[in-house]
Amino acid sequence: DAGITQSPRYKITETGRQVTLMCHQTWSHSYMFWYRQDLGHGLRLIYYSAAADITDKGEVPDGYVVSRSKTENFPLTLESATRSQTSVYFCAIMTSGSGNEQFFGPGTRLTVL
Amino acid sequence: GEDVEQSLFLSVREGDSSVINCTYTDSSSTYLYWYKQEPGAGLQLLTYIFSNMDMKQDQRLTVLLNKKDKHLSLRIADTQTGDSAIYFCAESISSTLTFGKGTMLLVSP
């Protein structure tokens, strides 16, 4: 457990609404990541951040926006939610140990109606 | 591009050994990982292996890496019902991970 919290844990929203998923780490690891998990696709990287104010796109960034003004927080915003964004979203951090291990938060289950 | 392949399902009896296989395509992977996901939970890191190693053992877990064939396996000795879960392998290139789609392990009493 690397002290990663995600909120909310469950969210139901409607198509077209803006939704922000929060990720907070109690440590100060530099790297943070957002993944989505869908049946048949496994986990896919949405965005990641190497440090405060440094973000980069992953495999599936379209429709998402991220920011990282503070090292410990990495919010993910869906600016105009679509049904295809119904998914389970996981935040992760990477430790600075020898194996570059990534540790995951508990996830947010998002349903877009 | 990178691609990580796993078989979808494995069923074993309690007490047997389980072997979950994974193939990857990017030869520049630095580390390879195994994660476990129980229903409704996040991913738990089980173990990882550096790409210049052949084998790593950690209690009931043995990881074998064949870099020539780009094949990774996870062996669970004395499999228990609590080992029932989805297992993901992942490869690391630079700072990002590419995951397989997961292998569901079902352990029957």
Residues from chain A contacting residue B45 (CB–CB below 8 Å): 101-103
pLDDT tens by residue, B34-70: 999 999 899 999 999 998 899 999 999 999 999 999 9
Dihedral sign (CA B69, B8, B10, B50): positive
Q: What pLDDT was estimated at residue B2?
A: 56
Whole-number Å distance between alpha carbons of B52 and B75 = 19
Residues from chain B contacting residue A33 (CB–CB below 8 Å): 96-97
Chain B positions with Cβ closer than 8 Å to A: 30-31, 33, 35, 41-45, 48, 50, 88, 92, 95-102
Whole-number Å distance between alpha carbons of A32 and A72 = 9
Which of A41, A50, A107 comes nearest B42 by C-beta?
A107
Burial (Cβ within 10 Å: 0-12, 13-18, ≥19) of residue B48:
buried
Q: What pLDDT was estimated at residue B1?
A: 47
Chain A positions with Cβ closer than 8 Å to B: 31, 33, 40-45, 48, 50, 58, 90, 92, 94, 99-107
Q: Do B45 and A48 touch (CB under 8 A)?
A: no
pLDDT tens by residue, A45-91: 999 999 999 999 999 999 999 999 999 999 999 999 999 999 999 99
pLDDT tens by residue, A5-20: 999 999 999 999 999 9
